[in-house]
Chains A and B, each alone.
Chain A
Amino acid sequence: MLDVIWLVPALPLVGFLAILLFGRRLGEPGAGYVAAAAVLGAFVVTVGAFFDLLSLDEHHREHVSVLFSWVPVSSLQIDMALLADPLSITMALFVTGIGFLIHLFAIGYMHGDPKFSKFFLYLNLFVLSMLMLVLGENLLVTFLGWEGVGACSYFLISFWHTRESAATAGKKAFVTNRIGDWGVMLAMFLGFQAVGSVSYSALNGAAESGALASSTATGIALLLFVGAAGKSAQLPLYLWLPDAMEGPTPVSALIHAATMVTAGVFLMTRMNPVIAASADYAPQIIAWVGALTALFAATIAVAQHDIKKVLAYSTVSQLGYMFLAVGTGAYVAAVFHMVTHAFFKALMFLGSGSVIHGMHHEQDMRRMGALRTVMPITAGTFIIGWLAIAGVPPFAGFWSKDEILLFTLASSPVLYVIGLVTAVLTAFYMTRQVVMVFFGEARWESHADDHGAHGEFRPHESPPIMLFPLVVLAGLSVVGGAIQLPSFGIIPDSWRHRLEDWLHPVVEPGEAVIKGTAAYDAKSWLALLAIACAVLGIAAAIAVYAKGRAKPFEPELLARGWRYDETVSAFMGGPGRRAFDAVARFDSGVVDGAVTGTASGVRSVAERLRRGQTGFVRNYSAVVVAGVLGVLIWFVIIRGVL
């Protein structure tokens, strides 16, 4: 299947075009099925490619297929080329796989929406872009996908664009991402200047062979990280992601949890030799930004009331973990966490979508409660997701988070502590959410009047087409950890480090690098410590929210996200806007003023001169005689005498 790897993006493209041309005729649910089928097809091809690769010798697990020469100008030769290697296939697998599930879910979720087919149009376009991103053979093709997913994200966030907030959120996401794109573009330029190419093989090859100067590598790494921070919602560029929850929930699940936001992590992983070749402070900056983002977002999540906002901040926090992993050299762990996170976070988003669907678009958790009774499957799957993210073994999240923490300790104890604290908070706020939504008393009944339009209000379980993806994802969240089990004594050797081995050609450093450090030696104890932290967080949350042992600690400051967003908005709306206005005024006043001023200056000089034209013939004669005198002075005195 490797030879037809182009089918992977081509199928969603076909789906996109089909819906573009016949969307209205396909209608509901036809468009949804077309779209889902396209993604499923892509998944199938990817799976085929996966096995093809697997059958190859480890060092030949790389297949480049050049579609056509894209931007060829003299020394710059960029092909539209796809690269199938373990990393990209891994990404493509879960993009298409989870993508397919979410498409299915959306068919149910978007039921009745007047723009049903358009939604799937965007979704297919998104999958296409995401696949170009991950399959790109060079930075530019990735960038094509990178911007494509950004644009789709924009369309989908502002899908319900008549809502002002949705429109604003879409714009915000796009513009913030563009700040990151600035970094990606400059990184490409720098890479091109240094290597003469923007292809991964050239850049990474140069970095590995030492041909890439350390300063250049640092520049590329950090600039790429700027882009990654934008796309993956890291400090200080994260603030578009919580707002992005304005989009329909399947979008949040697909784009803002599972796939697009992990693109930054993917890119950093893809370029890991360059990071390795860069100065030491480059990965440290990445690690610190990741750790701080993880902690920072977790604190905010603690005080959110919107069911999706909690998940959004949680996503930011988990992405922080992944960057922490990237920064500490745990690329495999990063990818691992990316995959598991994709499972359980997509699951929870879809679950929340199911809740919102059942609650007739109510998102405030304070108006929920006891929903397990009316939507048992949703509740059950959500709880699995909760356990996974909280880090309870043997669910998927435990394994990946544990590996990240292990590497972190090997790198820096301070970061490790931050990671642990975040883990506690994660367990805490997720438990809080599960309790508030599914347990306790049914607070929605008192608010039933608000939904008067629907007549009798009663939350209901979602249709099977929405539940099926939940179940599948729940299953994956349970067993997902199996792809990269650590080397504890009880785990058989052949089960260990599957992912690491698979990714080996792409990602050189694995657990081996930290072998011999104190952290590595204490890894079993560390695992226990992590479990303890998870339990601590869960217990605390149950104590507060289920048992009412203590008053909930939800300070205003945290609820408002440390006022970061407000400050930025206030700056943009205040001094920023004033500065822009000043430029516009400068333009009309000074720059254009100089032009009109010149014109009116000529005019006023002319008016003054005009008064010299008095109409009196004697004045005129005086002017003529004065001219005579002047000319005489020139000729007689200056030319004659002097």
Chain B
Amino acid sequence: MHGAVDFPLLSMLVLVPAIGSLLVALSPRRRPEYAKLIATVTSVGVGAMSVWMLRAFDSHSGGFQFVSRHPWIESWGISWHLGVDGISLFLVVLTGVLFPLAIVGIDPHNDDPRRDKPYFAWLLLLEAGVMGSFVSLDLFLFFVCFEIVLVPMYFLIGGWGYEGRVGAATKFFLYTMLGSAFMLVSILATVFIASANGLGRITFDLVELAEGASFAASTGRWLFFGFAIAFAVKVPVFPLHTWLPDAHTQAPTAGSVVLAGVMLKLGTYGFLRFGLYLFPEAARWSRPLWLTLAVIGIIYGAIAATMQGDLKRLVAYSSVAHLGFIVLGTFAFTSQAITGSVMQMVNHGVSTGALFLMVGMIYERRHTRQIADLRGLQHVAPVFAAAFTVVMLSSIGVPGLNGFVGEYLILIGSFLTARWWVVVAATGVILAALYLLWAYQRVFHGEPDEENRSFPELRWKEGLVLLPFIGIIVFTGIYPKPMLERIEPAVHDLIEHVSDRTGYVEPQPAAISIDDEHGEGE
């Protein structure tokens, strides 16, 4: 197993940004350029490590790899337990890749260069927290990371955001913290009840709990809901989403990119890792609720997005819709749907991250995000418009680009178990085209007026930042197999686990004459 390498890769992924953050904070105040240098080196290093991990990852195994486990708070049965599997792998890589791009590629635009220092420090701390959330296999550790990310994000929004930043940051902080409040109680209850029912000792270890503990149905449901509230807020699932448009809109560009790119995934990832894995029965039982909320979110988010006058708000609402797909797939309990969900988490991170990046560029040039103030940008900045188009089409879910593969897998997988939900959810693809194209038309098409005539074209540096995004968008759309084959074993194990616990049988499509035409495909 590759996990047996001596190098504590995952610990490094978490600790290096944290240490980097500390170093940035300690860097001399009069030399703000050091701050950026340290931040760049750190984040690029982490990104490189995460990519190296991707290379070393054993794609045939569904279990946890690169596992690292050390005692941490022994009195409470808490350990520093890290590991990745196919479900978290790409989220870790996405985090590793997104942060350097955000740090290197996006200027914080401080009036005072000394303010760069806290900016980079918070970003790195955020990276540490997000990484930690994705790799932790200990409930306490997960909770710590899940919660700690609020702080840097709060300061990033509040300190470097736009007009309504303080209100938005506060709303974001309190809303998500409220969700976590329930999760905290639930985590503890899970641990104690598990210890009483069969496990026999207090441990916060996810794997031990999931494999060793069993809960009475009603208990499990209560516990699950404690977790689910936190995740539902984070995702966000309708109707708990209203913090998101505010936070996204007011956040600085890097904040929006990270928020949409990886932070929302903490919720959807949490559902998979801690909802389905720990409480299969409850997750199965509450399935109709989540499917319904997901579908409402898809339609509702899209409709709300259509009517937004603020470009960033529009993208934010589109996230509500996209994440609805991910939740739908998560609770469909089929290999295709869950694999699609995991993939879509990454896809959404890439494409929405890129969208926010470009909306940020627009704002930086025009100092407005109002659609009504923009016109005819394609005429003056065709390359910029082209890049935007590719990302937009990915977001719409056009085949050949990454967004489609995830969405398709989610829908086709969910169709097996949740047909009528899918029938409604699939209309989301129509609405997605509607709101994005309408916005695109208003912003990019038409004859540019006086103010938009001098809109600068994409600069080299900006293009270099966007290039990885577009590269990933196209590559994954055309050749998703490397990704799918790494995700799938873990998803398979998860569904097996659910089956073991609940007697659920994953529905298989009737395989009529499948051998006829799939000689070479297997």
Report which A residues bind B (CB closer than 8 A).
Answer: 64, 66, 68-77, 79-81, 118, 140, 143-144, 146-148, 150-151, 154, 158, 161-162, 164, 166-168, 170-171, 174-175, 178-179, 181-182, 185-186, 188-190, 192-197, 199, 201-202, 205-206, 209, 211-212, 580-581, 583-584, 587, 591-592, 594-595
Contacts and interface: CB of A to CB of B under 8 A. Distances in A.
B408 A209 contact: no
Contact of B307 (A150, A154, A170, A584): A584
A201 B516 contact: yes
A182 B427 contact: yes
B201 to A, nearest CB: 36
Interface stretch (B2-10, B218-226, B262-270, B477-485): B477-485
A147 B513 CA distance: 28
B178 to A, nearest CB: 10
Contacts of A166: 445
Nearest to A144: B399
28 contacts: A71-B480, A73-B336, A74-B335, A74-B336, A76-B336, A77-B521, A140-B399, A146-B399, A151-B398, A154-B437, A164-B446, A168-B441, A175-B434, A186-B426, A189-B411, A189-B412, A193-B509, A196-B514, A197-B517, A197-B518, A201-B517, A205-B516, A205-B517, A206-B512, A584-B306, A584-B308, A587-B242, A595-B175
A182 B426 CA distance: 6
A162 B447 contact: yes
Contact of B437 (A171, A197, A211): A171
Contact of A72 (B376, B438, B485): B485
Interface in B388-408: 393, 398-400, 404-405, 408
Contact of B481 (A68, A74, A580): A68
Contact of A583 (B307, B408, B411, B485): B307
Interface stretch (B97-105, B352-360, B415-423): B415-423
Nearest to A79: B521
A118 B238 CA distance: 42
Contacts of B203: none
Of the listed residues A146, A166, A178, A186, the one surrounded by the most CB atoms of chain B closer than 10 A to its CB is A178
A147 B398 contact: yes
B508 interface: yes
A205 B310 CA distance: 51
B271 to A, nearest CB: 19
B326 to A, nearest CB: 16
Given A73-B488, A196-B512, A205-B513, A185 B335 contact: no
Contact of B433 (A174, A195, A209): A174
B247 to A, nearest CB: 12
Contacts of B437: 154, 170-171, 174-175
Interface string B425-458: 0110110011001101100111100000000000
A71 B426 contact: no
A71 B415 contact: no
Contacts of A68: 479, 481
A162 B308 contact: no
B511 interface: yes
Interface residues of B, number: 72
Contacts of A81: 521
Nearest to A206: B512
A75 B304 contact: no
Interface string B483-522: 0110010001000000000000000111111101110111
Contacts of B427: 182
B212 interface: no
Given A592-B242, A595-B243, A179 B430 contact: yes
Contacts of A190: 415
Given A75-B511, A192-B415, 12 more contacts: A66-B521, A74-B339, A81-B521, A171-B438, A178-B429, A178-B434, A182-B426, A185-B408, A193-B510, A195-B512, A583-B307, A595-B242
A81 B243 CA distance: 45
B521 to A, nearest CB: 5
B253 interface: no
B378 interface: yes
B522 A74 contact: no
B325 interface: no
A174 B429 CA distance: 11
Given A69-B521, A201-B516, A75 B508 contact: yes
A196 B419 CA distance: 15
Contacts of B89: none
B379 interface: yes
B242 A591 contact: yes
A607 to B, nearest CB: 18
A428 B404 CA distance: 45
B481 A211 contact: no
Contacts of A151: 393, 398
Given A167-B441, A583-B304, A69 B393 contact: no
Contacts of A196: 508-512, 514
B466 interface: no
A69 B481 contact: yes
Given A189-B415, A595-B175, A76 B409 contact: yes
B303 interface: yes
Nearest to B427: A182
Contact of B429 (A140, A181, A188, A581): A181
Contacts of A143: 399
A179 B429 CA distance: 8
Nearest to A143: B399
Contact of B409 (A71, A144, A182): A71
A161 B484 contact: no
A281 to B, nearest CB: 20
A124 B365 CA distance: 33
B171 interface: yes
B175 A148 contact: no
Contacts of A185: 408, 411, 426, 429
B518 A77 contact: yes
B306 A161 contact: no
Contacts of B239: 591, 594
Give 4 closest A-B pairs by Cβ, nearest first.
A167-B445, A189-B415, A196-B509, A584-B307
Contacts of B508: 75, 196
A489 to B, nearest CB: 43
Contact of A188 (B335, B393, B412, B423): B412
B279 interface: no
Contacts of A195: 509-514
B441 A202 contact: no
Contacts of B509: 75-76, 192-197
Contact of A178 (B378, B408, B416, B430): B430
B154 interface: no
Nearest to B305: A584
Contacts of A154: 437
B134 interface: no
Given A194-B509, A580-B307, A73 B409 contact: yes
A146 B397 CA distance: 13
Interface in B231-258: 238-239, 241-243
Contact of A77 (B304, B430, B438, B522): B522
A307 B89 CA distance: 58
A117 to B, nearest CB: 11
Contact of B484 (A72, A75, A174, A199): A72
B331 interface: no
A162 B376 contact: yes
Most buried by A among B300, B379, B509, B520: B509
A144 B479 CA distance: 13
A144 B422 CA distance: 20
